Structures are given as C-alpha cells and as structure tokens.
A and B are shown apart, each in its own frame.
Chain A
C-alpha cells in the first residue's frame, strides 16, 4: 500500500512539476518573441542610429550578431567550403555563424530546425531549401529574425506563395544555384562544352548523345534546359560539319526518380556516346556507368562536384567526365550582406521594394585547364584564403560598412563568379 502510494506520489509530483514548468513558459509565447530576441532592430539600435546619436561617421564594424545557416546536406564540398568562407568573415563582420541541416523532403522537420535556430538566438538565417517556406517565414516574422536564401531558387515559393515569402519584410532575397528557372542557360552551356570537346577531339568527336533529368515536378528548370539543349543542337546542326544526334528524352527511362539511372539505360540508348545529365550526374549517373563498365567508352557532361571527379576528368584517368559545373561558395555573400544590412537597420539607396531571386554565374569546368583553375578555388580547397572576396571586401559591400555601396553592385558580384575569376 505504502509502496504504491509513494510511487504514485513521486510520479505525480514529477509530472506536475514538468507539466507546470512547460505550461507556465508556454503561456504568452509566440507573440512576445520579438521583444525577447536580440534581433529586433528597433530594440537594439542600429549602426546608423548610433552614428547619428554620436554624430560620428557610420560605424565600420557592424553590430555583433549571430547568423544561422541551414544547409541542405550535412557534408560535402559545397557545405565545407561555405563554412570555411563564412568563418573567415566572422571577425571582420563581427558575426558568429551557427549551422544546422535541413531535410530535403520534410516540411515539418525543416520548420523545427528553423525554430531551433531561432531559439538559439540567431538574428538572421540563410536557408538553402525552399520547403514549407510560408510557415518558416511566419516563424521568422514572429521572432523578428531575417531570412535569406542561398543555392536555391525558391521556385515553389516564387510560384505559389510569392506574397507571403518574397513580399515579406523579413525575407531579403536569394542567390540561386546557377540560373533562375525563367532564365535557363544550361542547355546552351552543355552544347558549348560538347562542341569544345569535339573541337579538341576532331578525330573522334561525339556525334550521338542521350540525356538525363530529374522529374519536372521537382526541377522544372532541368526539363527546360533539356529542351533548350535539343533546340540548340538543332540550330548547331544546320551549319556544323559534325552533326550531333540527341536521343529524344524518354519520359520514363531518362527521368530519374531520385535514384541512380539503371544499367538498362545503356541498352535503351545503345548508340549514345555521351550522357548530358542535367540531374546531378556524379551521384545519379556516374556510379551506374562504372557499374556497367561503360565509363571508358562513354563521356559524361553534368553538374555538381562531390569530390573525386577530377580523377577521371578531361584527359585524366578514364576521362569520363568532360564537364561539370558548380556555384561558388562566395555567392552566399549576397544574402549575407542583405541580412547584415537588415540587422544593422540600414539599406542600400537602390534597394528594391520586394526581395529578389538572383541567378549566379557558375564555374563551368570543361577542360583540363579549367580543372586546374578550379582546383585552386575556395570550393575545391575549402581554404578561405583562396576566396574571391576578402572579409574587408565583404564589409565594403554592406551599406553600413561603405556608404557608397549599392544593391546593384552587390547583385553584380553574382555574375562575376566564373571559372576565369578564380585567383
């Protein structure tokens, strides 16, 4: 009897304490966050306000703040090089960076991750995924935290929740991973690389190719890119001596359901000498090529760099890879500067009223020389000293660090990050 009573009481007491603590704390939460957080510019004072108060020149060093970066994956060259670049900026910009990883498919899980970042007192967030964004923006608005995008075109939000996301004063805009869906150039880029290859290998040109894309519902730009490539080849063939045949895109075998292509792909494209993969070829095409033993006889023109591609690139190794392309980690400068401006309560004189998504130039690597240059980039080496912009350069891009800085200048840097710009 006593034993049971003691047990019951102890359980009840602990349950009541926990429930009480939770309930008391939860009451009143949500609405009052902006005042609790350190991020609200109105509460914290801004660089420009401070400057006005003291009557001195604008503070060169911004307000001390924390920015959370939510990556789409937890490892890899893009993540590591971006982290290295950001950490190199930390002291000069007076920013502490904190990181988390989102899922690529689960909205609720991503919302939780963003909420956790907000809970850890970040002032701004750079998010690499557009999944459940309206609810994420709501959270940011409630907590007074600004949000920017990186390596993501925010196409779903752009088309289905523009007012909620792009018109929100808490969304600063995004730097796309390559071109925006309404500004696709990848089809032409692929053909350029193919033609360059044929010029270098006039004795054994590639005359027959097939393609691979991700489903149009997930990546509409890839489907557009494939159409652009077919059209560009059609135009090219009208004047070219070496004609190129493109296998029509087979809606079933050439559209990858986020699984590697199957070995039967090669039987279905028996005459193909190269695969033009708009989908991430390193992870979804190349492994099957190796497994099927066609990595010597076929070439691959693709996007992305996961590491190791250089061992079989151009004339090296088996020479399977003939093109790859990646976005420079320095493109994170765009949302970063916009976030810092917001956090410091300043803006560019030419700042647009609504947030924008801006295409980024990419490193198009389609020759041995390009690969050599690429191997000296911040992306490849994960060494921030190789970055295109120094911490001081980035500070000078902010409105509080440089009164002459403009939005147009900031936007322009995204178009300069090409393979030829690597130091």
Chain B
C-alpha cells in the first residue's frame, strides 16, 4: 500500500461531506421518528415503509435517467394511468389473479413503450428529453381524466385481492420488493454497461459517443429500465389502497426529484450518480413528512419547516466549488 493512498480523517470528511450530510439528514429524521412515534413505533414503521416503498422503487429506476442528466416530468401521470388501467383490466377479467397478471403485463408494456418513446423520439427528432416527457405528461393527464370520466365515478377499486390480509406479510412483501429492485438496480448500475454508459452520457455524451458507444441505444434502454420500475412502483402503490382516481400519482415527478436531491444525486448526472441517493433521499423525505405530523407542527408551518430543512441540506450536499457558478 503506497503513502499516496493514505488519507486522514479530515481529508475523508472533506471528500465525503456530501454523502455524510445526506446520511446525517436521514439519521436525524430517523432519530426524531423514534422519539415522536412513541408507543406506536412499530405501527409507524409500517406507515413509513408503505409510504416510501412506491417512491423508492420509482426513485431507484429514476437513477438511470437522472444519471444521464435527464429527467422525466411525466412519471406522476404515468403512475396514475397505470393504476387506473390495472384496475379496469383486472375488473374486466372478473377480478381474478389472471386479470391482475394481464393488467400488470399491459402496464409494463406501456411503461416500456413510454421509455422507448422518451429515449428514442427525443434523439430522432433532436429534442431535449424533457420535451418528450412534457408531451407524455400532457397526454397521460388527459388520458387519466378521460379514463376516470368513462368510469362515471370519483374513484375506482380493484375487485381482486392484491394485498395479503396479514399486515406483517404485506410489510414483508414491500420490503422484499424494495430490496429486489434495489439489488437489481445496483447490479445493473454498478456492474453492467448500462450504468457505466448512462453515467458516461451524463458526464459527457459526446466523449461517450466517440468511444464507440451507441448512446441512443443506451438512452432507450435506460428509459425502459426506468419504465419497468415505474410499472412496479405503480403496482406497489395500488396494493396500498386498491383504488385509484383522477389525482392518483399527482406530484410524483417533483417528489421523486426532491427525494433524489436530498439523497445527493447530482441533477446534471455523471460519474457521481449513486443508487444509494434514491433510498437515502426517499426515506429522508418520507420520514421528514412523518416527523412533522407526529411532532404536531402547525399546518401552516409544516411547509416552511420542510423548505428550510431542504435548503439547509442542499446547501451542504449540492454546493459546488467550481470557478464559475453551477447551472
């Protein structure tokens, strides 16, 4: 081992200040959570798990897209439409297990199609990827409204059983889903070309292309991988209530972005993109919201407190040291 590789704790601290701040945020919110949950700690654990599971699965998928320096503003509306379609298809097939499978396959196919659209059409038409996702956002918003209008009700419920009756089993199912997705995403992001190339595209697309990488192909694959996570996340979200309406999924795009920022994900993408950002950020965000409610913070103050904490965290995690101001 050479002298060069030895680092002092001070150097380590300065090199990892962003990670430490992100983890510190998570730990602080977790400690507050432990304190204020009181006698209902175990119940509240399940609450956080249930609230965070869909977010974390979608955020994990979003790592592929954000690592390229792109974003997808249509994810919330996609989640809403997928949940409604899943219910409609399942109910049309008599609320059977087959219906659930067919429903999931359909939304998975749709999610993959949207991923391909976001990735390929943007390249073919030379558009910024946010424009194609803006189109999908408009399209899915309209589709969600029209689908709900066609049902003639405010909210529709699935007729099949998609959630174990036993609460412990349900919690285990959610943990398993998050772990499987996290492990899969970590594998693809860290140990396969997909992660390497998406980070490369985020760092410098032209250089990556000049290295012989078909960037269009990998963009499409990255968006499709995200699509898979969106489909799984939509299903997980649906298992919670078994129902959906015209506002299901609203705000997901921004929430996912906030989660990733809190977890230390650089929005410009590149080599510093990390899978852990998705999990750290999601749990920090969900725990923070939970803490503020259990602490009994005044309704009008909750948003202010959240905003101040968000700014404090980004001031540490996102600060750049470049000669020019970051954009």
A binds B: yes
- Whether the Cβ atoms of B1 and A2 lie closer than 8 Å is yes
- Whether the Cβ atoms of A27 and B168 lie closer than 8 Å is yes
**Closest chain B residue, CB of each to CB of A4:** B5
- Whether the Cβ atoms of B39 and A37 lie closer than 8 Å is yes
A21 contacts chain B at the CB level, 8 A cutoff? yes
- Whether the Cβ atoms of A120 and B36 lie closer than 8 Å is yes
A260 contacts chain B at the CB level, 8 A cutoff? no
B77 contacts chain A at the CB level, 8 A cutoff? no
Q: How far is the CB of B321 from chain A (nearest CB, A)?
A: 19
Residues of A within 8 A of B42 (CB): 25-26, 28-30, 32-33, 36
- Whether the Cβ atoms of A3 and B243 lie closer than 8 Å is no
**Segment of A109-117, A308-316, A362-370, A396-404 in the binding face:** A109-117
For residues 2 through 34 of chain B, which have their beta carbon under 8 Å from a beta carbon of chain A? 5-7, 12, 16, 19, 23, 26-27, 30
Residues of A within 8 A of B184 (CB): none
Residues of B within 8 A of A11 (CB): 19, 276
- Whether the Cβ atoms of B49 and A111 lie closer than 8 Å is no
Q: How far is the CB of A135 from chain B (nearest CB, A)?
A: 4
Mask: chain A, 132-144; 1 = CB below 8 Å from B; 0 = not = 1011000000110
For residues 206 through 257 of chain B, which have their beta carbon under 8 Å from a beta carbon of chain A? 237, 240-251
- Whether the Cβ atoms of A29 and B30 lie closer than 8 Å is no
For residues 206 through 265 of chain A, which have their beta carbon under 8 Å from a beta carbon of chain B? 215-218, 257
- Whether the Cβ atoms of A26 and B5 lie closer than 8 Å is no
A7–B17 alpha-carbon span in the complex (Å): 12
B160 contacts chain A at the CB level, 8 A cutoff? no
Partner of B152, one of A74, A111, A217: A217
- Whether the Cβ atoms of A7 and B16 lie closer than 8 Å is yes
- Whether the Cβ atoms of A30 and B243 lie closer than 8 Å is no
- Whether the Cβ atoms of A107 and B248 lie closer than 8 Å is yes
B43 contacts chain A at the CB level, 8 A cutoff? yes
- Knowing A3-B7, A217-B151 are in contact, say whether A106-B250 is a contact too (CB < 8 A): yes
- Whether the Cβ atoms of A135 and B243 lie closer than 8 Å is yes
A27–B175 alpha-carbon span in the complex (Å): 11
- Whether the Cβ atoms of B167 and A119 lie closer than 8 Å is no
A397–B253 alpha-carbon span in the complex (Å): 48
Q: How far is the CB of A276 from chain B (nearest CB, A)?
A: 23
Q: How far is the CB of B153 from chain A (nearest CB, A)?
A: 5
User: Among A23, A112, A216, which residue has the most Cβ atoms of chain B within 10 A?
Assistant: A112
Count of A-B contacts with CB under 8 A?
177
Residues of A within 8 A of B289 (CB): 116
Residues of A within 8 A of B161 (CB): none
A346 contacts chain B at the CB level, 8 A cutoff? no
Residues of A within 8 A of B171 (CB): 26, 29-30
- Whether the Cβ atoms of A33 and B293 lie closer than 8 Å is no
- Whether the Cβ atoms of B47 and A112 lie closer than 8 Å is yes
**Segment of B65-73, B116-124, B294-302 in the binding face:** B294-302
A7–B246 alpha-carbon span in the complex (Å): 45
A131 contacts chain B at the CB level, 8 A cutoff? yes
Residues of B within 8 A of A410 (CB): none
A215–B245 alpha-carbon span in the complex (Å): 14
**Closest chain A residue, CB of each to CB of B290:** A116
- Whether the Cβ atoms of B293 and A100 lie closer than 8 Å is yes
B157 contacts chain A at the CB level, 8 A cutoff? yes
Residues of A within 8 A of B237 (CB): 108
- Whether the Cβ atoms of B49 and A33 lie closer than 8 Å is no
Q: With A15-B276, A26-B175, A36-B40 given, can you name 20 additional A-B contacts, CB distance below 8 Å?
A: A1-B5, A2-B1, A2-B5, A18-B283, A30-B168, A31-B167, A75-B300, A98-B296, A107-B241, A107-B248, A108-B54, A111-B241, A116-B289, A118-B43, A119-B290, A135-B240, A135-B241, A135-B243, A215-B149, A217-B154
| 24 chain-A/chain-B pairs, Cβ below 8 angstroms | A1-B1, A7-B12, A18-B27, A26-B42, A28-B168, A29-B45, A29-B46, A29-B167, A36-B41, A101-B299, A105-B248, A107-B241, A108-B241, A115-B51, A116-B294, A119-B47, A119-B293, A120-B293, A121-B38, A131-B154, A132-B243, A217-B148, A217-B151, A217-B153
